[in-house]
Amino acid sequence: MANVVVVGAQWGDEGKGKIVDWLSERADVVVRFQGGHNAGHTLVVGGVTYRLSILPSGVVRPGKLSAIGNGVVIDPWALLKEIETLRGQGIEVTPDNLCIAGNAVLILPLHRELDLAREEARGADRIGTTGRGIGPAYEDKVGRRAVRVSDLADPKALSQRIDQLLLHHNALRRGLGVKEIKAKAIEDKLIKVGPKILPYVDNVWQRLDAARRGGKRILFEGAQGAMLDIDHGTYPYVTSSNTVAAQAAVGSGLGHGAVGYVLGIAKAYTTRVGSGPFPTEQDNEIGRTLGERGHEVGTVTGRERRCGWFDAVQLRQAVKVAGIDGIALTKSDVLDGFATIKICIAYRYRGERYDYLPATLSAQTEVEPIYETLEGWQTSTRGARSWAELPATAIKYIRRLEELIETPVALLSTSPEREDTILVRDPFAD
C-alpha cells in the first residue's frame, strides 16, 4: 500500500480539507509536516463541522494516530485552544491519538508581534502574512536560536534559549520602535504551558517508522500550496517553508523512500489570498462571480480570495517541482452556467512566449496570459458522483486540463460534501 502525500498545487486554499478528510478515513496515521496554524482545513464528519488549523485531520476520527512533525512550527496556546474546541464538540485528543515532535519549533508571542510590526512597516509593500508569527519562527529556526518543544522539559536550557532569542529580537524591536521584552515574561508563560504540551511529545520519526514497517497507511497532510513554496513560489510573496512533497519526508523524520503517491489539489479555476503576482486574476465581474459561487473566503483569516481563470502553465510547473502524480480537481461545479470558460495555456512577456512562470518578480507581475476558450456547460454538475452524471462539455474541459498539465485527474470533487467525489484512481492502491 502506498503512503500518500497531499499538497496544494496552486496558491493554497484549493480544498485540501475535504480531500484529506476523504482520504483520512482510509489512513491509519495522518501527519502534518510543515507550516503552522495559518492552514485552515474544514472537515464535515457525521454532519458535524470541524475547523482545524494545526491539528492533523485524522484527529477527528477514532482509531487514527495524528502526528505533528518536526517541520511544523507550533503555537502552543493555539494548539491547546484547538484541542479544547474539539473536546467541546465531543472529540477527545489525548497522547494516545496525538503525538508531537520534540524537535519542532515553538511560535512565541514575540513572533506574532514581530510579524505584525513588519507588515505595518512595509506599508503598501506588505507581503500579506496572516500575522500569526510563522515566518519569524522559521527565521529563528534557521538562525539556530529557536525555542523547541523539547526545551519545555529542561528549565535551564529553556532559560538559555530565551536569552539567546532576545539578544536578536530586542535588537529588531528597537529598530521597529517596539518595546523590548523581558526574559522572565516569556519564561513564565512557557513554564506554565509546558506541562500541558509535554504529555503529547514523542519521537515522531520513530512512531512513523514503526507504522511504516507495520504496513500502516500514512497520509502526509500539507499546508498552503506549491506556488507559496519558499524556493519554488512567487518569492517574496510566499510562505516560510517548503510546501512541496519532498518536505513530507524531511518534515516528518522519515526517509524519502517512505513517500509514495503524491496527490496535488487544484481548483477548476485559480485563487490567491493576499499580495503577490496572479497572472490570470479577473478583477471584474467574472472574478466576483467565481468568488461568490465558490464562497472564496479564508477559513482562518476571513480574507476574501482573489479569483481568476485556470492557469495551466502555473499548475504544470507545480506538478514538476512538487512531484505530483495525480490531481484532485475541486470546485468544478463553480463553473456551472458559464457560456465560455478560459484556460491560460502560455504567457507573453516582452514579446516572447513562455511556457513557465519566470523567476523574477517583475516578470511574474508583468506576464500576460494567453488564453484558450472552451465551451461551458449550462447544466448543474453539483453533487455528481460518476462521469456519467457530467455533461460532455465538462468532461471535455477536464480532459483538456489533463493534457495541458501533463497529469491525470485522480479525483474530482463536485461539492463541499465529502461523498460528492468521483474517484478515478485510488491513491492508496499503488
Q: Which residues are catalytic?
A: 13, 41
Give the Å distances, CA to CA, from 20 to 2, 6, 408, 424.
15, 7, 19, 16
Backbone phi, psi, residue 252, to 5°:
-120, -15
Q: What is the C-alpha to C-alpha distance for residues 395 and 389, in angstroms, rounded to an integer?
A: 10
CB 18 within 8 A of CB 413: yes
| Helix (H) or strand (E) run with residue 287 in it | helix 285-293
Nearest to 111 by CA among 71, 72, 74: 74
b/e per residue, 349-362, with b = 16+ CB within 10 A? beeeebeebbeeee
Q: What is the C-alpha to C-alpha distance for residues 164 and 236, in angstroms, rounded to an integer?
A: 27
Q: What is the C-alpha to C-alpha distance for residues 430 and 427, in angstroms, rounded to an integer?
A: 6
| Helix (H) or strand (E) run with residue 423 in it | strand 421-423
The β-bridge relationship of strands 352-354 and 340-349 is: antiparallel
Q: What is the C-alpha to C-alpha distance for residues 295 and 267, in angstroms, rounded to an integer?
A: 13
Q: Can you tell me which residue has the cell 485552515?
A: 40
Q: What is the C-alpha to C-alpha distance for residues 290 and 224, in angstroms, rounded to an integer?
A: 20
b/e per residue, 226-262, with b = 16+ CB within 10 A? bbbbbebbbeebbbbbbbbbbbbbbbbbbeeebbbbb
Q: What is the C-alpha to C-alpha distance for residues 340 and 159, in angstroms, rounded to an integer?
A: 62
User: 136's torsion region: left (phi>0), alpha (psi -120 to 50) or beta?
Assistant: alpha
